[in-house]
């Protein structure tokens, strides 16, 4: 019996789908699951995913990285792709349009990808830009990392992510749940549902005051227990993980007990906070680089508003000290930089800061691969060079386990089987 045209076409499509696209030959590989450096390894990539390791290849193309060390695409769990700190950052909120920030975000996404970060978690914007950027990247319209976005962060009135902080009285207004500002459990639930409606991938809350907001306190708790419980219950219903910006210990404790998935920054955590994080399995995303950056810029007259300057000056040393204590205590840690506070593309500078403050190079790399994928809930797709996962490969000349700063100058980046940078 003759096969129908449909059957023949289907057969051809299947045979093409199984043909490998590219073979990547690495001189050495950092196996982040076994936490070891291997000898030469080969990775076959088919339809954007690793299809075979160290096997015979039918690949149409071979990439020779025999002079390089390969590792999985890096993951930054805390970025802000729509902006970058400067002395004009505060006034730009009144002079720039949404489209201006959107065009900037395209540039920042590209430099982040070129730095070896093939996946990022964007923790706060106006609620629209990084959702559209995420989709544009997925459609191949612009180049950038794979984005998981929280959209607009959730705050309480006057809290760290209240977008009207510092405005004059006649334009301050009274933002509500739709704008990401909540008071009470009902508004907290509505704000989570609004983020779902807008297409967010996760929820971000500001559990305490912040450094760069134009408000006096950088550490006071800013959500009540019933509001946190409402956020977490609604997030569970809608399949969201929740990240909590937090500097002060009391705000962290409330968030951890409510079931938050990650504490961002963790600046002033105490022994009880660390104990709670271990008990509840809460991740710390430390952002040491942001602390270093703002502490340095606080020395410059006029860089920050005067209400911000003393908070920025104090934050750097405290972040480092408490990160070291968290490492020693065995708190789970995922890599994050808060880039947008510091310069986009400098993300890998966080690795040296982590190593200088208590981690081994391998431990630091694991935070940006295995641990980050786990916190994202994407371990089946990301975090290691394993069969079935995305073909995200980064390569450097030399051994980053001997010199972690090599990761600040990656020579090769592949995302989903496509080469996006090759020196």
Q: What is the CATH number of the domain that holds 277?
A: 3.20.20.140
> Do both 68 and 170 map to the same domain?
no
DSSP one-letter code for 180? T
Whether residues 23 and 57 fall in one domain:
yes
Predicted pLDDT at 121 = 98
pLDDT for 214:
63
Which residue in this structure is represented by tokens 């996760």? 202
pLDDT at residue 77, as a whole number: 98
The Cα 303–Cα 313 span in angstroms is 12
Strand pairing class (412-415; 393-396): antiparallel
The reply to whether 82 and 217 lie within a common domain is yes
Q: Are residues 345 and 416 in the same domain?
A: no
Tell me, what DSSP letter sits at residue 81?
T
Q: Are 413 and 421 in contact (CB under 8 A)?
A: yes
User: How buried is 335 (Cβ within 10 angstroms: 0-12 exposed, 13-18 middle, 19+ buried)?
Assistant: buried
pLDDT of the residue at 55: 86
Our count of domains for the chain comes to 2
Question: Do 407 and 306 share a domain, yes or no?
Answer: no
Q: What is the pLDDT of residue 215?
A: 64
Q: What is the pLDDT, as a whole number, of residue 13? A: 33
pLDDT at 213: 65
Which residue is it, tokens 């989570």? 192
Which residue in 318, 321, 298, 300 sits closest to 309, CA to CA?
Answer: 298
In a shared domain, residues 409 and 266: no
Note whether 184 and 227 are within 8 A (CB): yes
pLDDT at 220: 86
Residue 354: both structure tokens together:
């982590």
- What pTM was estimated for this model as a whole? 0.92
Return d(Cα 279, Cα 3) in angstroms, integer: 61
In DSSP terms, which residues pair with 221 in a beta bridge? 208
Do 78 and 54 have their domain in common? no
Instruction: Output the pLDDT for position 423.
Output: 82
Q: What is the pLDDT along the chain (423 residues), one digit of tens a residue?
A: 333 433 333 333 333 345 579 999 999 999 999 999 999 999 999 999 999 999 888 888 999 999 999 999 999 999 999 999 888 887 888 899 999 999 999 999 999 999 999 999 999 999 999 999 999 999 999 999 999 999 999 999 877 777 767 777 777 777 777 888 999 999 999 999 999 999 999 999 999 987 776 666 667 888 999 999 999 999 999 999 999 999 999 999 999 999 999 999 999 999 999 999 999 999 999 999 999 999 898 899 988 888 888 888 887 788 899 999 999 999 999 999 999 999 999 999 999 999 999 999 999 999 999 999 999 999 999 999 999 999 999 999 999 999 999 999 999 999 999 999 998
pLDDT at site 216 = 64
Which residues lie closer than 8 Å to 125 by C-beta, 6 or more apart? Answer: 80, 81, 82, 101, 149, 151, 152
User: What residues make up the domain containing 63?
Assistant: 5-73+384-422
CATH code at 407?
2.30.40.10
DSSP β-bridge partners for residue 237 = none
Residue given tokens 């191949």 in the structure block? 140
Residues 184 and 57 in one domain: no
265 and 207 belong to one structural domain: yes
- In this structure, the answer to whether residues 179 and 279 fall within a common structural domain is yes
**Claim to verify: residue 107 and residue 170 sit in the same structural domain:** yes
Residues 190 and 331 occupy one common structural domain: yes
């Amino acid at each position: 019996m003759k096969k129908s045209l449909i059957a023949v076409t289907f057969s051809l499509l299947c045979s093409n789908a199984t043909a490998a696209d590219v073979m990547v030959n690495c001189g050495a590989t950092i196996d982040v699951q076994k936490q070891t450096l291997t000898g030469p390894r080969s990775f076959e990539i088919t339809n954007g995913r690793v299809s075979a390791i160290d096997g015979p290849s039918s690949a149409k193309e071979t990439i020779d990285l025999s002079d390089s060390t390969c590792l999985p695409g890096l993951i930054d769990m805390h970025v802000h792709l729509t902006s970058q700190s400067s002395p004009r950052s505060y006034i730009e909120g009144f002079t720039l349009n949404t489209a201006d920030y959107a065009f900037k975000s395209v540039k920042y996404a590209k430099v982040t990808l070129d730095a070896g970060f093939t996946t990022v978690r964007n923790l706060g914007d106006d609620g629209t830009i990084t959702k559209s950027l995420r989709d544009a990247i997925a459609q191949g319209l612009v180049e950038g990392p794979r984005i998981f976005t929280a959209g607009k962060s959730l705050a309480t009135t006057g809290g760290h992510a209240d977008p009207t902080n510092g405005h004059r009285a006649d334009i301050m207004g009274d933002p509500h749940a739709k704008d990401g500002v909540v008071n009470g459990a009902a508004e907290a639930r509505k704000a989570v549902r609004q983020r779902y409606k807008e297409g967010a991938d996760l929820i971000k809350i500001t559990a305490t005051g912040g450094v760069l907001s134009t408000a006096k306190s950088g550490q006071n708790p800013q959500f009540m227990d019933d509001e946190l419980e409402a956020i977490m219950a609604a997030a569970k219903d809608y399949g969201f993980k929740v990240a909590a910006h937090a500097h002060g210990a009391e705000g962290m404790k409330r968030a951890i007990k409510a079931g938050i998935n990650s504490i961002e920054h963790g600046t002033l955590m105490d022994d009880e906070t660390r104990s709670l994080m271990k008990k509840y399995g809460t991740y710390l995303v430390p952002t040491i680089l942001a602390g270093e950056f703002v502490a340095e810029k606080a020395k410059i007259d006029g860089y920050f508003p005067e209400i911000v300057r003393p908070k920025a000056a104090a934050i750097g040393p405290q972040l480092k000290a408490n990160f070291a204590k968290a490492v020693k205590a065995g708190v789970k840690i995922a890599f994050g930089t808060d880039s947008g506070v510091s310069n986009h593309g400098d993300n890998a500078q966080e690795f040296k800061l982590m190593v200088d403050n208590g981690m081994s190079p391998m431990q630091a790399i694991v935070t940006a691969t295995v641990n980050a994928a786990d916190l994202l809930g994407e371990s089946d797709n990301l975090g290691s060079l394993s069969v079935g996962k995305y073909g995200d490969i980064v390569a450097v000349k030399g051994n980053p386990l001997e010199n972690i700063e090599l990761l600040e100058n990656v020579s090769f980046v592949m995302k989903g089987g496509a080469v996006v940078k090759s020196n």
